[in-house]
Chains A and B, each alone.
Chain A
Amino acid sequence: MIDSAVTPLQTGASKNTEYGYLIGRVRVWESGLLNPRLLDQLLRADNADQAGRIVSEIPQLGEVLQNVAQNPPSIDQALMNHFWSLTEEISGHRLGAKVAEFFTLLFHFSQLKLLLKRHLAQKPLGSIPEGVLDWNRISRYISGEKEEYVPDLFRQAIDQAKLQYEKWNNIQAIELVIDRLFLSRVLKLSRETESSLLKNWFIVYVAFALLRGAFRIRLQQRSLDFSQLIYLANPMVREDDFKELISAPADKVVEKMADIGLSSVLPDQGVFQDDPYYLATMEKIMDNYLLSMLRPYQLNAFGPEPVFGFLFAKNIDIKNLRIVLHGKYFEMDERDLRDKVRECYYE
């Protein structure tokens, strides 16, 4: 990935100035973020048209969704393009690249999975995105042209994913292997970041991802051996804990979560359920928790935290908008949508 160009000799003052420039940009973009009042108005909208009119009055978002066909795929495409254009703009900055790397990694690994799956399913590769990475080279490497130059990270991901797919004869092995590599990169980010908040945030993100993985493995009744494909050593969830979370009876899971110090993410404290809706609520609590970690730093004048916080908040906003606009389009119940939406960055 793109490494930070900041040298150890660079003074804190000059870095602060550069972050100051990025934060200035973020302050402008922040007017396009949702707030609880707007979210409530969207949720109370009678139909998709009314929700669309409310969105059209939000700065930036209104322009993003202008002239977009009012159907879920088009809306989703427009929102994702908006998010990636913001991420690219921040990445274009010398210090911003490191701050936005987490989101760039998310996109790259998801694209890699898609290319691998399309190749294995013998389906056309479809449109290949343009960007920092040469996806055409990567697709040629996937299809067996080993001489192609591919960054080490992706070479490793493709080779390991193919190996595990052959071993398990299960396409989910690819997902787990690539997810593990993504999480290992997130841990690397936690070691490299200069911000203690982001260091903790990345560690908590990995821990939450592993917990989600463990509970889903329970739900899908996977073997412990298979579950090892996703596990990686990290400061919060030890391997033994991870295995116990998968194999222990439901009542023991609560105790184990308390031991790890993460019982607060369980929806009904004291009762754990192997139920998808219970886990969906847990996922919402996790997202809210991650956002709440970043919230106190939103008004900082210097440092990477407000920039990262903005990108994460935007990511959550896109989720919320998708939930509300798609939900209204399919005439879903307002209560169901309220259960799904995440908290806003600004309270």
Chain B
Amino acid sequence: MRLNVNPNRMELMKLKGRLAMAKRGHKLLKDKLEALIQDFVRIVRENKDLRREIEAEIIKAFQAQNKASLMLSEKDKELITVFPQQKLVVEVGTRHITGVQVPEFEVRIEGDPYTYSLINTPSEIDQAFGSFFQVLPRIIQLAEAEKTIELLAVEIEKTRRRVNALEYILIPSLEETIKYINLKLDELARSSIVGIMRIKGSLK
């Protein structure tokens, strides 16, 4: 689509400048897009493995918890959970991946997970607690990875739209407009030559 500009040399120069800038921007954005996609694919792959491992661990933890809960009355369950003395400390920061700000969580577990009787509780409860406290930091790690993937996906989408806008709209329309101005200017030059030739002919 041609831009609505006056076909003169000044506009032509301006448009040529914009075209050069758009081409440079297009190249840079395309490089950024490639880098983003590379990071995205790498993190998605890592995340896939992490998710699979976590799912297996969660299943193990829930199985142990289910088996333990079969042996516990409601009162026993309250006794086990009424005073948790373990704390999960999450420090939230940010880092940059190819110019995208993504979250970074540092997880630390403090305190003792075992708060219950040794003789009135089933042993599976140790397995359940152990597994859950092992998997919890990894779930937060997974949340970090999934949020990073989400932010990278948004950035890729945005960059791709910009690249496409430059590649399929701005650059073609600038080129078309430049071509149009060039044609107009050539036509103008030709008509002025014809006019001069006519004046010269009438003077003879």
Residue A277 contacts which of B73, B74, B82, B124 (CB distance < 8 angstroms)? B124
Measured CB to CB, the closest approach of chain B to A130, in angstroms, equals: 15
Asked if A217 contacts B118 (CB within 8 A), the reply is: yes
Question: Hey, which chain B residues are within 8 Å of A280, CB to CB?
Answer: 67, 122-124
- Given A172-B116, A230-B118, A336-B67 in contact, is the A117-B123 Cβ separation under 8 Å? no
- Given A76-B73, A340-B70 in contact, is the A110-B126 Cβ separation under 8 Å? no
Residue A323 contacts which of B70, B79, B115, B124 (CB distance < 8 angstroms)? B70
Instruction: Tell yes or no: A209 within 8 A of B by CB.
Output: yes
- Given A110-B120, A170-B112 in contact, is the A121-B82 Cβ separation under 8 Å? yes
Bound CA span A4–B193, Å: 133
Asked if A179 contacts B120 (CB within 8 A), the reply is: yes
Stretch at the interface among A29-37, A45-53, A325-333: A325-333
- Given A276-B126, A277-B127, A280-B124 in contact, is the A213-B119 Cβ separation under 8 Å? yes
Asked if B122 contacts A123 (CB within 8 A), the reply is: no
Question: Hey, which chain A residues are within 8 Å of B124, CB to CB?
Answer: 276-277, 280
- Given A276-B127, A283-B123 in contact, is the A340-B118 Cβ separation under 8 Å? no
- Given A117-B79, A121-B83 in contact, is the A179-B73 Cβ separation under 8 Å? no
- Chain B: residues with Cβ within 8 Å of the partner, total of 29
- Chain A: residues with Cβ within 8 Å of the partner, total of 44
- Given A176-B118, A179-B118, A219-B126 in contact, is the A76-B74 Cβ separation under 8 Å? yes
Closest partner residue, chain A, to B127 (CB atom): A276
Contact residues of B between 120 and 142, Cβ < 8 Å to A: 120, 122-127
Question: Hey, which chain B residues are within 8 Å of A153, CB to CB?
Answer: none
Instruction: Tell yes or no: B200 within 8 A of A by CB.
Output: no
Bound CA span A327–B127, Å: 19
Contact residues of A between 121 and 174, Cβ < 8 Å to B: 121, 123, 170-172
Instruction: Tell yes or no: B101 within 8 A of A by CB.
Output: no
Asked if B116 contacts A322 (CB within 8 A), the reply is: no
Instruction: Tell yes or no: A1 within 8 A of B by CB.
Output: no
Closest partner residue, chain B, to A282 (CB atom): B123
Closest partner residue, chain B, to A114 (CB atom): B79
Asked if A172 contacts B114 (CB within 8 A), the reply is: yes
Bound CA span A210–B82, Å: 25
Taking each of B83, B85, B127, which has the highest tally of chain A beta carbons within 10 Å of its own beta carbon?
B83
Q: Point out residues on B near A: beta carbons under 8 Å.
A: 64, 66-67, 69-71, 73-76, 78-79, 82-83, 85, 112, 114-120, 122-127
A-B contact pairs, 18 of them (CB 8 A): A76-B73, A76-B74, A110-B79, A117-B82, A170-B85, A172-B115, A179-B118, A179-B120, A213-B118, A217-B118, A220-B126, A276-B127, A280-B123, A280-B124, A283-B123, A319-B71, A323-B70, A340-B67
Q: List 5 tightest A-B contacts by C-beta distance, closest first.
A: A279-B123, A276-B127, A276-B123, A216-B118, A175-B117
